[in-house]
Amino acid sequence: MNNFYTLIYLTKHLNFKCKEAEFDFSYSPHKNVWEGYLHNGDEKLRVILSTHNNETALFADKYRAPKKSNVTTFFDTHKGEKIKNVSLADNDRFVTFWFHNDKKLLFQLFGNKPNVFLVEDGIIKESFKDPEKWEGETEPEPRAPKPPAELNPDWKPKRVITKVDGKFPRQLIPDIIEHYELDEKPVEEIKKVTNKLTDALESRAEFRILENGHICLLPEDLLPLPTRKVFDNCNEAIRYAYYKTSRERRMTSRYQSVMPRIKKEIKKAKRTLSQLEDADKALERAEKYEQYGHILMANAHLNVDTGTESIELTNFYDDNQPVEISLKGQKSIAENAQYYYGKSSNAIKRVDEAKKRQKKIKQDLQELKKLQDSLADLEKIYQFDDWMDEHKDELNQLGVLSQNQQKDTLPFRRAEIDGYEIWIGKNAKSNDALTTRAHKEDVWLHARGVGGSHVVIRMNNNKDMPPRKVLLKTAAVAAWNSKARGSSLAPVIITKRKYINKPKGAPAGAVRVQQEEVELVKPMKLQS
């Protein structure tokens, strides 16, 4: 939503909408979102900035009454100031709202930390995100343009495209390589295709939202990908993509908070039923244990040496064939007989209890499957919320929501990255608790060779690995929460929890890693 060519057209639209508009106020209605309220005569509008990593976006939206309480406002000193114009940096993703007094709102729309700054005489006076870091600092400068690169015939098509045009939309490159069969083309041909597409981006852009949710400015005749919707201007395309992406992210997060737990309970119920269906085998064992007891009692007069592990006796239940019976070495034969009678009795009790439980578990399994099917049919957040209200008691009774009871008492931090629940250790003792509680299929991460937090990606018993981008983001968080925080790049161990064990007598937080992969990442603070 924030590639350079998109911002070219967006800036033109914002300049048209906002020029000579008066700045009223701005605030954050919820996490990672800034909204600026403007008016131009009787016309009111909002400018929205999303600083969420996966949906960085800037666009103008229709006026909507703001929240009136429990909000933080920004840039109050500029109430009543008029906007002179809106511009885009020549070579970077900086959009600037210029006021008539030559102060400005500078929108930084790239990297892991998008932001908006109030700048006066080149100094940041106020910042939406990380004010303690930015306020009083010199404003960030756009990157200088790079001279044309000499193309290497051995380069891959993606590298050639980005060297020919460093601002080319990255998310479209795989589709372009496939459509134009660039893997088979020489460098000069790739350059020719890139220049043709760049010319189209500049001169005859179409504002399409593809079926995969990405914005595409390339005309359909040049890149015939399935299109979900076409818009008259870039702002409306960004607005649609942002709200669609935002809804899908929130829906995925809600879905992931419940569906894996339903699947876990279904698997548990099936496993229990499978065990209960083996009741006949349990009865056979009970009968065998009882026979062993009788055989031993019939031979209770025999003496055996302490520590004897087994004894061979005549089995009068099997045509007097010899049978070898294991013994508890510290017990007499009569005491061993009582031991086998006890095992037989316990086996029979378990079978009786299993048969009583079987009917209820079958009913629970049927209800869980209904919940699974109905949840899978939901598409919108309000549908999920209604579904939760309707089924909350049922989910609690079936054990699906019971894990939420410990949510606020966990001895480590909980967070979320792209819909995946993340655990982050606070100290050595917390690291021990975190790793102990993690499931064997959870992903375990730790900065290599230095002290730091244990970090876990919860996988809900899924044996696969999460998407690579989730692994890298979480690895960056693990690096930040370690003594490698100040490094430009840090190695981070990535493995499954099942390959981690704690040596006997080891100090708190110490573990042994049996199998690992290592990724080099830039340490990054988890976005709040």
Q: Binning pLDDT at 50, 70 and 90, where does residue 528 land?
A: low
Q: How far is CA 429 from CA 238, 421, 437, 450, in A?
A: 46, 21, 13, 17
pLDDT at 518: 94
pLDDT at 339: 93
Query: Any idea where the domains of the chain sit in the sequence?
Result: 4-134, 157-232, 279-355, 410-521
- Does residue 265 have a pLDDT over 50? yes
pLDDT at 404: 44
Region 196-203: what's the mean pLDDT? 96
Region 43-69: what's the mean pLDDT? 88
pLDDT at 402: 59
pLDDT at 352: 78
pLDDT at 407: 45
Residues 6+ apart with CB under 8 A from 300: 332, 333, 334, 337
Q: Is 100 helix (H, G, I), strand (E, B) or coil?
A: coil
- For the whole model, what pTM was predicted? 0.55
- Does residue 112 have a pLDDT over 80? no
- Does residue 462 have a pLDDT over 90? no
Question: pLDDT tens, 401-420?
Answer: 855 444 445 688 888 888 78
Residues 6+ apart with CB under 8 A from 349: none
- DSSP for residue 183: G
pLDDT at 408: 42
pLDDT at 307: 85
Judged on CB neighbours under 10 Å (0-12, 13-18, 19+), 285 is middle
CA 262 to chain centre: 19
Question: pLDDT tens, 222-235?
Answer: 999 999 999 999 99
Question: pLDDT tens, 119-174?
Answer: 999 999 999 998 888 999 999 999 888 888 899 999 999 999 999 999 999 999 99
- C-beta neighbour count of 85 within 10 angstroms: 15
Question: pLDDT tens, 373-393?
Answer: 999 888 777 788 889 888 988
Radius of gyration of the chain measured on its C-alpha atoms: 33
- Does residue 507 have a pLDDT over 90? no
User: What is the dotted CATH code of the domain comprising 4-134?
Assistant: 2.30.310.10
Per-residue b or e along 220-236, where b marks 16 or more CB atoms closer than 10 Å to that residue's CB: eebbebeeeeebeebbb
Written as six digits, the tokens of 498 are 């099942």
The rounded mean pLDDT for the chain is: 89
- Does residue 354 have a pLDDT over 90? no
Question: pLDDT tens, 464-493?
Answer: 888 898 999 999 999 999 999 999 999 999
- C-beta neighbour count of 519 within 10 angstroms: 20
